[in-house]
Amino acid sequence: MIKVGIIIGSTRPGRNGEAVARWIHELATERDDASYEIVDLKDFRLPHLDEALPPAMGRYANAHTRAWAATIDSFDAYVFVTPEYNHSTSGVLKNAIDFLYAEWNNKAAAFVSYGSAGGVRAVEHLRLIMGELHVADVRTQVALSLATDFENFRVLTPAAHHAGAVTAMLDELLAWGGALRTLRHTRQARRTSGAAAPARCG
Ligand SMILES: Cc1cc2nc3c(=O)[nH]c(=O)nc-3n(C[C@H](O)[C@H](O)[C@H](O)COP(=O)(O)O)c2cc1C
């Protein structure tokens, strides 16, 4: 069964992100075609990136990095729940993404955003980042407006039509998450047999 991590992309006291992630988790677990788990960045307490070697080398020195890597490695696909901060995603989510490399590779990702314009600018930036990490990002996204999907910008009251987008988004995510498993297994088998991995130039 495909394992999906729903990542809460904000750690701010009073954040809206947690309610959004719990709503997605609730809708997702009504399906029986995958397992879904919330991943709360607050639980990992990652500092600003403090690894001496580039993440692509996969030689993590710090216990917090190894714990984060083990969690991210355990999923086939992700739903990033992101706020929009200054027309981008949050610094805390970008930092958490930057910590790792191989753990993200050849997985699938979907986005649920929120902000005054639905958080869509945050997702556009995330899509660029995903490309660098060999993550396949699905087209359908869920964009919640702070003005119409929240009461007083604080209490989540999502409009009914978003449920359809959540279904379509998860359908796409599971299809790609499943398809990419084959690629991951082939690469893993190559590594185990000692064949050289392609060089990373970027
Ligand atoms: C530092 C900061 C910058 C923000 N910039 C934007 C922005 O550029 N566009 C927008 O629509 N909302 C912006 N907002 C509003 C947030 O999207 C909104 O407060 C949201 O609830 C933040 O997510 P969180 O509550 O999960 O932290 C900003 C909020 C903060 C704290």
Q: What pLDDT was estimated at residue 194?
A: 75
Which residue, chain included where needed, has tokens 């993200």?
Answer: 104
Decide whether any atom of ligand 1 lies within 6 Å of the 10 Cβ. Answer: yes
For residue 83 and ligand 1, the question of a CB distance below 6 A is answered with yes
pLDDT at residue 199, as a whole number: 53
- Would you say the CB of residue 17 lies under 6 angstroms from ligand 1? yes
pLDDT at 201: 46
Bridge-based pairing of strands 2-8 and 107-115 is: unpaired
Query: How confident is the model at residue 196, as a pLDDT?
Result: 56
Smallest CA separation from ligand 1 atom 22, residue: 83
CA–CA distance from 8 to each of 16, 113, 139, 183, 201 (Å)? 10, 10, 20, 27, 31
Predicted pLDDT at 191: 77
Rounded Cα–Cα distance for residues 158 and 187 (Å): 41
125 close to ligand 1 (CB < 6 Angstrom): no
Q: Ligand 1 centre from 88 Cα, in Å? A: 9
Residue 170: Cβ-neighbour burial (10 angstroms; 0-12, 13-18, 19+): buried
Q: What is the pTM of this model?
A: 0.95
**Identity of residue 190:** R
pLDDT in tens, the chain (202 residues): 999 999 999 999 999 999 999 999 999 999 999 999 999 999 999 999 999 999 999 999 999 999 999 999 999 999 999 999 999 999 999 999 999 999 999 999 999 999 999 999 999 999 999 999 999 999 999 999 999 999 999 999 999 999 999 999 999 999 999 999 999 988 888 878 876 555 554 5
